[in-house]
Amino acid sequence: MFHWVSAAITLPTIAFSGQIFFRNAWSALRAGRLNMDVPISLAILLAVVTSLWETSLSGEHAYFDAAIALTFFLLTGRYLDHRTRSIARSAAEELAALEVPRAWRLTDDGEEQVSVADLRIGDLLRVRPGGRMPVDGEIAEGQSELDRSLLTGETVPVYAAPGTLVSAGEVNLTGPLLVRASAVGRETSLHRMADLVAVAESGRANYTPLADKAAKLYAPGVHILSALAFVGWYLYTQDFRVALNIAAAVLIITCPCALGLAVPAVTTAASGRLFRKGLLIKDATALERLSEIDTVVFDKTGTLTAGAPEVTNVEDFTRADLEIALALAEGSSHPLSVALTTALRARGLAPAPVTGITEVPGHGTQGLWQGRRVRLGRAAWVGGGSSDLTATWLAVGDGPAQVFTFADSLRDGAEETVSALIKAGKRVILISGDSTAAVEALARRLGIPQWIAEALPQDKAARIKALTDEGARVLMVGDGLNDTAALAGAHVSISPATALDAARVASDIVLLGNSLAPLPEALTLSKKATRRIRENFAIATWYNVIAVPLAIAGLCSPLIAALAMSASSITVSLNALRLR
């Protein structure tokens, strides 16, 4: 009677809890292949069938507890695995989501708001300040400045006037523009970038984790051993019950619980440690891939640098000039004006009494101070000279123009991280869409021997592919829309938490804090984690080498087999905890 009560408890439990294994195994068999869930499902089902057989014949031994124990340990491993799975969103979909849904089109009767799907080449569109470009095209009327940082990585807004080419996704900052469409829909640069990302994502999906490699070898061997044990004992004893019990014991004792825990137990332990250091592991295979890295490619703006300009030469100006500059800077939302305002306010300065302040789109701000015209803005408009550095110019009356220079501050830990990577023998490369002068200056400051400037998104992705084709295992670290294809195409990728959604989704690891310092430790820990995974595989293998002959010899009942399997699973889990 007790066996029937056990059956009444076990059958619904197995039917519900084992669904994930049964469905995956059935899908694999229908596709004509084997995966780890095939021997798992057979072991659970055979333990249940054997127990029902024994119970129906009023036998002394039933092994429902073995079936429950199997399912418990296997679900534990599956739970740990799912904790470290990546968010199932596509970076290509995130890029497509950046497309402007509607646009203002000029007609003979005025203007109308239409869906971007209804736009055609040659349409004349109005893009207001703060708006994102809905198409690729050419400016037909108006002057402004464009924020291209998401697409190209350029830190400074670009002056735009009639004849300037624009791309979908760029942001109009200061003045209204009329844009003549030259590419719409899937032909825009934004959609072409999404296509690049989709291709890169499909390439990464071809990576085969260690556990899957082990399953290809393990599953057929388990089935063959169990079948041979059944046939051999049936021929020897002519007793179906004895042969079935021994076959069940072999299948249970070889059930890949330890193998199923080998990777997720280590990944969970390592992910927890890295999370405490400020790194979020999104993909279960990221640590395996990170341990293989020999080349690290960095983006510049927002990755190695903080992405916010800082004034470098305030001391070169008189207090009066600084107060005039502050008054003019507060009249603009330009990133350099905002940075200048922040720096001067931090020094306790107050704006000079400048009147009639106006912003001239694409040029700068101007006003009157003590009857003299004062200007803050671009060199050509103010009357300044040329500068290789990021700069804005100040002119007071008829006096000579003076230059404020800016530099992008380094992200915390950037110098130490690059130095540690180079000392560890990694090849470090800087790729940026920023100007040659800015990229070269940063590369020299950090000691990076290889750098590429003015790189378009497709250039970055092509460089990653070229490195991969040369046999390199590339870690890409970037944060911008222009980095997304490169992030998706790299062997493994990291983005800061401040990165654009598309970049974060394309990456395998997210840097939660402001410092790059956890990166070298992540590389070191990934190698330790991979060693622990291989150790766990070795533990599981030696367990089978010892236990399987005992089961085949008939020296292990299914219950003892389940206990032995549990012991190996616990050993694997304890070994993984050494990473904490």
* Dist. CA 340–CA 178, nearest whole Å: 30
Among residues 571, 503, 577, which one has the least CA distance to residue 259? 571
- What is the C-alpha end-to-end distance of the chain, expressed in Å? 47
Q: Provide the token pair at 265.
A: 């137990």
Instruction: Give the DSSP H or E segment for 489.
Output: helix 484-489
DSSP notation for 182-238: EE-GGGSHHHHHHHHHHHHHHHHTT---HHHHHHHHHHHHHHHHHHHHHHHHHHHH-
CA 561, distance to chain mean position in Å, is 42
* Dist. CA 276–CA 283, nearest whole Å: 17
SS3 track for 5-73: HHHHHHHHHHHHHCHHHHHHHHHHHHCCCCCCHHHHHHHHHHHHHHHHHHHHCCCCCCCHHHHHHHHHH
* Dist. CA 155–CA 153, nearest whole Å: 6
Of 299, 479, 483, 508, the catalytic one is 299
Q: Which residues, in sequence order, are CB contacts of 251 under 8 Å at separation 6+?
A: 39, 42, 43, 46, 47, 222, 226
Q: Provide the token pair at 145.
A: 């400045």
Instruction: Give the DSSP H or E segment for 376.
Output: strand 372-377
Among residues 409, 474, 467, which one has the least CA distance to residue 155? 409
Question: Annotated catalytic, 81?
Answer: no
Give me the active site residues, please: 299
